[in-house]
Structures are given as structure tokens and as C-alpha cells.
Chains A and B, each alone.
Chain A
């Protein structure tokens, strides 16, 4: 009997959590910007976006290198290694750059956001803000959310560009694919409005999901050291699952039809 009650409470808690998170998002999106909000936004852009730049560029470069290497060894078997540029660029633009950048972002920036907001809650900074009449949603959560939503698409574009350069390094410079056919095949097959823009739309959705989950988990966490640790774990797990699930849905919508 106890187990059933526990299960029911768990489900109700989760559903309530989704409701609280949705209300929080609505409150943030439809609130007026506060004075000094832009400065806080810039500061969070620095912490969320710029600080993630290194891991994004390095992993983008290596993923591009690996794609170039793997693509070459597959394509050379059927004598069409001139398609390498097309393969690398489409793989990166459509799938790998949005997804991998979002996963890295969830691990690098999302968990940090959760921990920060969670420890603010633990040290009762949020409660004292409310006491003096400052809305912590506007002051603390909103700039972080917007910074995440803006910076992940930018990081994704940088990721894709670096990855393509990496693929070119391996394919053209090391393995000797013809440079002209590498670029011209890419330019003939990549459509800016279709591939690049859809990749950016994907990453905007992922950015909203990741940052939303991160700030909610921080805001709603159990204010104990253990609670913060659990919230950080949940941030990374939920973000990754959401990113992969939504990636399938978005891909089906964007590229599944004719």
C-alpha cells in the first residue's frame, strides 16, 4: 500500500513540477525587462556562452576530424571520396552540431546554472530577495535563461564551422581528396535556407529546453547539499533525453517530408 502511495506521489510531484516549470517560463518570457537587466544578461552571456567556447571549439574540431576520417574510409570503397565535403557538412549542419553542442552545453553550462541557483536557494538568498521585494525570477533566473537561449545557437554555428574546417583538414590536407570537389560538392548540396537555418532552429529549441530545465531544477531543488547534487544530475539527464527526443521529432518535421 505504501509503495503505491509513493508511486502516486512521485507521479503527482513530477506533473506538478512540469506545471511549475511552465508557469516559470511564461512569467519570464512575458515579463518586462528590468533596469540593469541588459548588463546582467551580458554578464551571463559571458559565463554561459563565452566560457563554453573552448569545449565547443575543441570538440567541434575533433568531431570534424573523425567525420573526415570515417567518411573517407567509407566513401573511398565506392570510389566517391569527392562526396566527402557533402557528407561532412550535411552531417554536421543537420544533426551533429545542434545535438552534440546541446549535450555539451547541458553538461558544461546547464549543470553550473543549476548548482548556482540551487546554492543561492540553500543560502536563502532567493528568499531574502523576495523579502526586500525583488523578484528572483527577474533578477536571477531571467538573465540566465535568455543568455542560454541566445548563446547555444551561436555556439552551434561555431561548432559546425570548426567541424567542417576539421573535416577539410583531414580529407583534403592529409588524405588527398581534391579540394575543388570537396568545396563544390558541398556548395551544390547544402542549401542555406534548408540545412543551415533548420540546424539553427533545432539548436534554438535545444537551447530553450536545456536552459529551462537547468534553471528550473536549480530553482525547485531541495536546498540541501544532497538536493543540489540530485538536481544537477537531473539537469544533465533530463536535458540529454529531451535533446535526443526532440531531435527525432524536429528531424521528422524538417527533413522527413518531401
Chain B
């Protein structure tokens, strides 16, 4: 009898443990698998991803559209390669919108000089190529850029996709080429002080010092706010 009741108590203990572990896994570490519907991955290369972590969110216009999967270092370019999963439902057009987009793209094509100079057969293939290219597009256009943004002044880093105004759209699995890495306040300050690069520090003496502040301003403005 004693052993039966202790078995029952241990059973309850194990169940409480299971609930607690489930709570830690799901609610605390957010291990919900992926709640992105129809997800696909894209890549972007940054010069600096300081502070960005895997599982950080990816947003567009403030709406979370994905999560960072992994951050690796490209050995050739020495840039940080960020792979992130995006929600297919939020970042692709529905069939009607897709038709509209294709129509706009075709119109654009018809006004281009290549098209008007080509023969009718070539024009046909160009049109077909365009529409076949348009089948698995996302709603992220080629002019869009992606940046490492900060949530509030001290908050965590996340990726922000800023849409551009282009009519050509990226396909699933593409790389977003316009990027802006983490804006380090210290880098900005050191650029401001040294005039854009470490090499200038040695040269920054005597007569060059007079025009240094002006060029410094321009340099840092170009270097850090280029989009």
C-alpha cells in the first residue's frame, strides 16, 4: 500500500516536471518550431552584424515577417552572411496582385529600348521570360534594402526590410544586395574624429587640418548613411 501511494506521488512529480519543462521550452525559449507559414529562406551580406543573434526578428514596415536562421562569415569577402526565413504568406502577392504586377512589368518592358529594337519573335521570348521569372516572386523589390536596426535605444537588434520603389521583384531564395549593417556609435565617432579612415590620422597634420573637418563630415555622412 505504501509503495502504491509513493508510485502515485512520483507519477505526479514526473508530470509536474514534464509540464515545467514544456513551459520552459515553449513559453520561455519560444521553441515553437517555426510559426512562419509557407516559409522560405533568403540571404543578405552585411559588413557588420554586431549584436544580431539567431532567432532575431525580421520586419517590414513594423510587421514581423521572419526570423534570422544563422549568421556565418564569408571567408572570401569577409562579410557576415545572414540567412533568414521569411513568411511566404506575408511576403508574396495573391494571384490578382501578381497579375497586376506582371502587367506593370510587361508595360515597362514594352517601353524599354531593347524591346522596341528587337524583332517580334525576340519580343515574344522576352515577354515569356519575364512572366516565367515572375512566378515565384516575393513582394520584396530589388531596390529594397535590409538593415540591422535596434529596438528602441537599448533594445535588441533585428533586421528591417525597407521596401524600395522598383518594379522588379526578388525571387524566393535570392540575396538582398542592398544592406546596411549595425550602426556602431563608436565607429561613427571615430570616423568623425579621424576623418573617415585610420590612414588619414597620420596625414592629418599641418595645413591639411584646416579642411579636415569639412571633409570628415561629408565622409562620415556618405559612409554611414549610404543606402
Q: Which residues of A contact B (CB under 8 A)?
A: 39, 42-43, 45-47, 49-50, 53, 78-80, 82-83, 89, 93, 151, 154, 157-158, 160-162, 164, 183-192, 195-196
> Given A39-B3, A189-B156, is A50 in contact with B28 using a C-beta cutoff of 8 Å?
no
| Interface pairs (26), CB distance under 8 Å | A39-B3, A42-B6, A42-B7, A43-B3, A45-B10, A46-B7, A46-B10, A50-B9, A50-B13, A80-B154, A151-B13, A154-B13, A154-B17, A157-B20, A157-B24, A158-B17, A160-B24, A161-B19, A164-B28, A186-B30, A187-B27, A187-B29, A188-B53, A190-B28, A190-B30, A191-B55
**B162 CB to nearest A CB, Å:** 21
Q: Is the CB of A80 within 8 A of B155?
A: yes
Docked Cα-Cα span, A196 to B21, in Å, equals 9
Bound complex: CA A78 to CA B153 (Å): 10
- The reply to whether A188 and B57 contact each other, CB–CB distance below 8 Å, is yes
Q: For the complex, what is the distance from the CA of A154 to the CA of B9, rounded to whole Å?
A: 14
- A183 and B32 CA atoms in complex are apart in Å by 13
Residue positions of B touching A, CB distance < 8 A: 2-3, 6-7, 9-10, 12-14, 16-17, 19-21, 23-25, 27-31, 53-57, 152-156
Which residue of the partner chain, among B12, B152, B153, B156, contacts A50 with CB atoms under 8 Å? B12
Contact B29 A192 (CB under 8 A): yes
Contacting residues, chain A, for B7 (C-beta < 8 A): 42, 46
Give bound CA distance, A83 to B24, whole Å. 18
Please measure, in the bound complex, the distance between the C-alpha atom of A181 and the C-alpha atom of B55, giving whole angstroms. 16
A42→B20 CA distance, assembly (Å): 21
Main secondary structure of the interface of B (DSSP, over half): helix
Q: Nearest CB to that of A188 among chain B residues?
A: B156
B27 interface neighbour in A42, A83, A151, A183, Cβ under 8 Å: A183
Contact, CB under 8 Å: B23 / A161: yes
Given contact pairs A89-B28, A196-B28, A53 touches B154 in the complex (Cβ within 8 A): no
The docked-state distance in angstroms from the alpha carbon of A157 to that of B55 is 23
Total A-B pairs in contact (CB under 8 Å)? 96
What CA separation (Å) do A79 and B57 show in the bound complex? 22
Question: With A50-B9, A196-B28 in contact, do A162 and B20 touch (Cβ < 8 Å)?
Answer: yes
Bound: A46/B12 CA distance, A: 10
8 closest residue pairs by CB, A with B: A187-B30, A46-B6, A161-B20, A192-B29, A154-B17, A190-B29, A158-B20, A50-B9
CB of A49 within 8 A of CB of B24, answer no
A148–B180 Cα distance when bound, in Å, is 53
Let me know if A82 and B155 touch, CB within 8 A: yes
CB closest chain-A residue, reference B20: A161
Q: Which of B7, B19, B28, B153 has the most CB of A within 10 A?
A: B28
- What's the Cα separation between A46 and B9 when bound, in Å? 6
Q: Are B31 and A192 in contact (CB under 8 A)?
A: yes
- Name the contact of B154 in the complex, choosing from A42, A46, A78 (C-beta under 8 A): A78
Q: Which of A82, A158, A185, A196 contacts B29 (CB 8 A)?
A: A196
Give the contacting residue for B28; candidates A80, A82, A93, A151; CB below 8 A.
A93
Q: Which of B13, B23, B54, B57 contacts A53 (CB 8 A)?
A: B13
Question: Out of B19, B20, B24, B55, which one reaches A188, CB within 8 Å?
Answer: B55
Task: Closest B residue to A85 by CB, please name it.
Answer: B28
Contact assessment for B17 and A157 in the assembled complex, using a CB-CB cutoff below 8 Å: yes
User: Please, which residues of chain A bring their CB within 8 A of the CB of B14?
Assistant: 154
Instruction: Give bound CA distance, A78 to B154, whole Å.
Output: 9
**A195–B29 CB distance below 8 A:** yes
B25: A residues at CB distance < 8 A: 192, 196
Q: Which residues of A contact B16 (CB under 8 A)?
A: 53, 158
> In the complex the two chains form, what is the Cα distance from A150 to B21 in whole Å?
14
Residue of A nearest to B54 (CB): A191
Interface pair A191/B154, CB less than 8 Å apart: no
- Given the complex, which residues of A lie within 8 Å of B21, measured CB to CB? 157, 161
Q: CB distance B24 to A93 under 8 Å?
A: yes
Report how far A45 CA is from B6 CA in the complex, Å: 8
Bound-state CA distance A228–B58 (Å) is 61
Alpha-carbon distance A211/B28, docked complex (angstroms): 29
Closest to A185 in B: B156
A230 CB to nearest B CB, Å: 30
Query: Which chain B residues border A46 with CB–CB below 8 Å?
Result: 6-7, 9-10, 13
Q: How far is the CA of A241 from the CA of B154 in the complex (A)?
A: 38
How many Å lie between the Cα of A161 and that of B130 in the bound state?
Answer: 55
Which of B3, B10, B31 counts the most chain A CB atoms within 10 A?
B10
